[in-house]
């Protein structure tokens, strides 16, 4: 497939497959993972994954408090004191800002709500239902609880 683009009155044929520059991202199954936070780089990498995760995480702070919720924002500062994540806790829905320096333990406790939701999974379910002789096949989304 190609697309015609007009630049300064001249037509240019553009092939979208040739201009694609972003690689796809493989999503890891992180549910149940408790990362090693032995040094700053491991802590930063784990909190980056927590931000990309589509489920709840549990953060254990150095003072012993535990926060379970969804990481919806992060800021990587120059050091651990100025870097933070923002979490929407399950219990009260207030947005809480947590400095990286306060994090002692991180657990990926909630179900990843988008796991297994690829187009390939949808097609596989469709063909399985069709092979079983089902009619009026509809694949409906799961409830989010």
Spell out, as residue ranges, where the chain has pLDDT lower than 70: 1-11, 16-17, 19-27, 114-119, 139-145
Q: Into which CATH architecture does domain 40-107 fall?
A: Roll (2.30)
- pLDDT of 71 reads 95
Strands (DSSP E) contained in 47-111 are: 57-61, 66-75, 84-89, 96-99, 103-107
- pLDDT of 118 reads 64
**CA 57 to CA 33: how far, in whole Å?**
10
- pLDDT of 76 reads 93
Alpha helices in 20-118 (DSSP H): 40-52
**CA 141 to CA 118: how far, in whole Å?**
12
What's the chain's Rg over C-alpha atoms? 22
**CA 64 to CA 134: how far, in whole Å?**
53
- pLDDT of 59 reads 96
- pLDDT of 37 reads 93
Both structure tokens of 85: 């994540």
């Amino acid at each position: 497939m190609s697309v015609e683009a007009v630049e300064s009155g001249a037509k240019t044929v553009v092939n979208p497959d040739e201009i694609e520059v972003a690689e796809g991202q493989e999503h890891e199954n992180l549910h149940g993972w408790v990362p090693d936070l032995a040094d700053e780089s491991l802590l930063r990498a784990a909190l980056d994954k927590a931000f990309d995760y589509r489920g709840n995480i549990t953060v254990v702070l150095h003072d012993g408090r535990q926060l379970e919720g969804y990481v919806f924002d992060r800021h990587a500062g120059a050091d651990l004191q100025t870097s933070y994540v923002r979490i929407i806790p399950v219990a009260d829905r207030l947005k809480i800002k947590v400095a990286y320096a306060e994090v002692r333990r991180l657990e990926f406790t909630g179900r990843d709500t988008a796991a297994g939701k690829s187009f390939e999974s949808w097609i596989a379910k469709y063909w399985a239902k069709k092979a079983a002789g089902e009619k009026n096949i509809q694949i409906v989304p799961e409830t989010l609880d």
